[in-house]
Amino acid sequence: MERQRRLVVGISGATGIAYGVRALELARKAGVETHLVVTPAGQQTRAYETDLSARDLAAMADVAYRPADVGAAIASGSFPTGGMLVAPCSVRTLSAIAYANNDNLLTRAADVTLKERRRLVLLVRETPLTLGHLRAMTAATESGAVVMPPVPAFYLRPASVDDLVDHTVGRALDLFGIDVPDLPRWGEQPTSR
C-alpha cells in the first residue's frame, strides 16, 4: 500500500464520535486504507452517541487495534502512513500528545506521526477553553500538529447535522490530500445573496 493511501484514525472520548465514524466512511470511499484505535472513553461515547457496537466500529476500518497494544504496527515510524487524524480529540488526549505522554497506542501513534514529520490533525472538542487547554494546543502546534476544532460553517446553509459533520470531516481529509467528491465548497456552489 502506497504510504499516502494509508491513514491512521484515532477516536478519543470527546463528544462527537460521528466525526471519526464519518472519516472512516469517507476514507474507505476514497480508497484509503484506515488503521483505527479507539480509547476506552471513545468506546463510552460510541455507546452513548451511536447504535454501533465496538465490533461494528472496528469493521469500518481496514485494521483496528486495542489501545493497550503499544507494540502494534502504527506504534513504529518504520510503518509508512500518510498521517493521522484524531477525531474527536479529547483534551486529555490533546494534552498527552502535546507533551509526548505516550500512554496508549493512540497517543504513541500520534507522537510517531509528529516525530516522522507526517501530518497530524486533531479535532479537539471542548468548550469553553481554559488557559491550560490553549497552552496544550500551542504545544501541539509547535510540535507540528494541526489543531482543528470541529467548528461548523454556516455559509453553505447546512440542512442537517450530517451536513455539518460531512463538511468538517471533508475539510479535515483535505489536509491529507484525500478527495471527498461532492463536498460543498465555497465558490463552487450557487449562492442566494
Ligand X SMILES: Cc1cc2nc3c(=O)[nH]c(=O)nc-3n(C[C@H](O)[C@H](O)[C@H](O)COP(=O)(O)O)c2cc1C
Q: Which residues bind ligand X (CB under 6 A)?
A: 12-15, 39, 41-42, 44-45, 48, 90-93, 125-126
Tell me whether residue 10 is annotated as binding: no
Considering the complex, state which of residue 1 and residue 134 has its C-beta at the smaller distance from ligand X: 134
Considering the complex, state which of residue 168 and residue 180 has its C-beta at the smaller distance from ligand X: 168
Helix or strand run (H / E) with residue 113: helix 105-115
Place of cell 479535532: 123
What is the Cα–Cα distance from 136 to 164, expressed in whole angstroms?
A: 26
CB of 109 to ligand X, least distance (A): 13
Considering the complex, state which of residue 140 and residue 178 has its C-beta at the smaller distance from ligand X: 140
What lies within 8 Å, CB to CB, of 166 at 6+ separation is 22, 26, 180, 183
CB of 69 to ligand X, least distance (A): 15
What lies within 8 Å, CB to CB, of 134 at 6+ separation is none
Q: How many CB atoms lie within 10 A of CB 146?
A: 15
Residue 86 pairs in a beta bridge with 10, 122
CB of 26 to ligand X, least distance (A): 22
Tell me whether residue 117 is annotated as binding: no
Considering the complex, state which of residue 32 and residue 74 has its C-beta at the smaller distance from ligand X: 74
- Which of helix, strand or coil describes residue 21? helix
CB of 59 to ligand X, least distance (A): 21
Annotated binding site for dimethylallyl phosphate: 155, 171
Annotated binding site: 13-15, 39, 90-93, 125, 155, 171
